[in-house]
Structure 1
């Protein structure tokens, strides 16, 4: 119970006392008794009731989350909004309208449990590629204090539904539709939704600020599309997943082919290196044999005899053979015989093998 209610109760008590005084006057007059006491009670009670009633109407109590817009009917101007607390107004001259300055939320949803219980209020828009997009949205806001309240009262006090139906609802619908019209539906369905949300909030903040309203937050609760669009998106995602799997499998096979080609190249390189090493060793051996033959011409005959069996002392050969020599020339060497010096065999430390390109094998994949 506020102070004005207390004064109204007191005023009611004064009027009741005045009516009681009138009743006493009537009773005393019917009995030919003095009526002065009743008259005094009646006058005092009625006057007290009137005064208390005027006082109760002139006391303005403003709550902590409220502000009072005061319209002066004499000057036709809006006064500075009254802050929270008790203040005095002149009944009949100063008309008071109370506005909340705490945070408010306005929800537009297709579900009556979330938005307006009397209607489906979801926002239907068209994307830049012509797809239908349905959006459920909540805007959290508060009214500007001071001159902003006077502006709201001046612009929307006579509008049915006030600033909520006259400003908040149509502005949200218009801005959401404009923003959605700049995006493709597939982008809204995917990573473009955050950008869309941010652009909607920026536009709402700018427009409402010019109309005395501060936007605290805007929330896109739900975005829905037509069944045909959703089916098309899901089919596209399945196709992309299959394509990605095919690419992965192709990469795996290509890697395997490159690995096998590299292994084959290394094997061929090893074989080539071994062949080159053997060839180099054979060439070195032949060089050494040539040096020995040049130093000792009888080396061929000696080698021939050395290859004979140990029990062979006489060999019969054709008359035209060149291998007719005296065995004693090779078994009974003089004391001063010195074999010729021959260089130690040198094998190459490293044999270069030509590089083999794998571009052809990769191109074949």
Structure 2
């Protein structure tokens, strides 16, 4: 009898402990709890921390509400029918106030069912509006359009788009070769234009220099007058007199320069 009471008391204690532990649940940081009662979603959303529930009747499904990151590569056709593979990173989060609706309408596989298809659809729709070259030159504009379209799609399913980053546009080998050839041709054309401009400038400089020299020569010819010639002759004669020692040369080997002394000898 004594042992029976002991066993019965122990069983009661165990049951009580099980009921106590079953009625307590915790929600981790960065999560919200969806309260389920016999499988049905209740409107109550459990925040972070300790909570009580009805044992065996109620369960709690935690759902992460922190920012999550999804990276993928999507292929689409551009406006000029070039195949473009876009590598994109998407940051999104679940609305903390609507986790119960998310779980009820979509479930836990919302990434594969909603996020991935929405990213692919948005990229294809925006890519088709631009040529392959415009996708590169107008990347910020393309990214903004994808972000706007994707944000609207995710908001319909109780999710918020935090940010989007287009990491890379990859094109076919044929398109890359065409771009490289075009860049080479543009560089060659630019070099040829620069060479032509340089030649024109050098030719103009030569013409200007020749004109200046011709004008200088013309002005010098205008300055040569009979009076100037006579003055130069007088200067030559004066220099010769300065060097003469007063004696006539005794030997001459040729013609003796004539110097007019009529003006210098006094009568």
CA–CA separation in structure 2 for the residues paired with 1:235 and 1:64: 56
Give secondary structure in 1 for the equivalent of 2:89.
strand
Structure 1 pair 48–241 and aligned structure 2 pair: CA distance change class (3 A): same
- The equivalent of 2:244 in structure 1 is none
Partner of 1:94: 58
Contact 2:65 2:95 in 1 (8 A): yes
Measure, in 1, the Cα distance between the counterparts of 2:209 and 2:34: 89
Tell me the residue number matched to 1:186. Answer: 133
C-alpha separation between the residues in 2 aligned to 1:78 and 1:271? Answer: 108
Q: From 38, 45, 51, give the equivalent of 1:81.
A: 45
How many residue pairs get aligned? The number is 233
Which of the two has higher C-alpha Rg? 1
> How far apart, CA to CA, are the structure 2 residues paired with 1:258 and 1:154?
82
1:314-329 matched pairs, under 5 angstroms: none
2:95/2:159 contact within 8 Å kept? yes
Q: Which digits, 9 at most, give the CA deviation of each residue in 1:79-130, with x for residues without a partner?
A: 231111110011344342101122211121xxxxxxxxxxxxx211000000
Gaps of 5+ in 1: 1-35, 109-121, 284-308, 312-365
Point out the structure with the larger strand share: 2
TM-score, reference length from structure 2? 0.77
- 1:124 correspondence with 2:75: yes
Q: Does 1:58 align with 2:5?
A: no
Pairwise CA distance, 1:260:
1.1
Residues 1:265 and 2:229 are matched in the alignment: no
Indicate the RMSD between aligned Cα atoms, in angstroms: 2.7
Matched, 1:166 2:113: yes
- Displacement, 1:240? 0.9
Which residues of 2 match residues 212-361 of structure 1 at below 5 A? 212-277=158-223
Q: Equivalents in 1 of 2:23, 2:190: separation in Å?
A: 78
Give structure 2 stretches of 5+ with no counterpart: 228-259, 263-267
1:151 equivalent in structure 2:
101
What TM-score do the two structures reach when normalised by structure 1? 0.58
User: Structure 1 residues 251-260 or 43-52, which shifts more?
Assistant: 43-52
